[in-house]
Amino acid sequence: MTKEDIIEIFKSTGALLEGHFILTSGRHSDTYFQCAKVLQYPQHLTRFGKMISDHFKNETIDVVISPAVGGIVIGTEVGRQLGVKSIFAERKDGKMMLRRGFEINPGDKILVVEDVITTGGSVREVMDVVERSGGAIVGVGVVVDRSGGERKLHSNQYAIMTLSAKSYAENEIPAELKSIPAVKPGSRGLQ
* 27-69 pLDDT, tens digit each: 899 998 899 999 999 999 999 999 999 999 999 999 999 999 9
| Predicted model pTM | 0.89
Domain boundaries, the chain: 3-178
Q: Which pLDDT does position 24 carry in this prediction? A: 79
Is pLDDT of 118 > 90?
Answer: no
**pLDDT band with cut points at 50, 70 and 90 for residue 187:** low
Alpha-carbon gap, residue 111 to 81, rounded angstroms: 13
Q: Which pLDDT does position 119 carry in this prediction? A: 87
Q: Are 188 and 24 in contact (CB under 8 A)?
A: yes
**Mean pLDDT for the chain?**
93
Extract the runs of DSSP E, i.e. beta strands, from 100-191: 109-117, 136-145, 157-162
Q: Which CATH architecture has domain 3-178?
A: 3-Layer(aba) Sandwich (3.40)
Beta bridge partners of 158: 141
Is pLDDT of 190 > 50?
Answer: no
Is pLDDT of 22 > 50?
Answer: yes
Q: What is the pLDDT of residues 97-110, one digit of tens each?
A: 999 999 999 999 99
Is pLDDT of 189 > 70?
Answer: no
For residue 65, give the 3-state DSSP assignment.
Answer: strand
Q: What is the dihedral of CA 103, 188, 123, 90, to 10 degrees?
A: 0
Residues 6+ apart with CB under 8 A from 124: 153
Q: What is the pLDDT of residues 148-186, one digit of tens each?
A: 999 999 999 999 999 988 889 999 999 999 999 998 886
Alpha-carbon gap, residue 181 to 191, rounded angstroms: 24
Percent of the chain at pLDDT exceeding 90: 83
Alpha-carbon gap, residue 81 to 56, rounded angstroms: 11
Alpha-carbon gap, residue 177 to 19, rounded angstroms: 8
Mean pLDDT of 112-127: 95
Q: Which pLDDT does position 25 carry in this prediction? A: 79
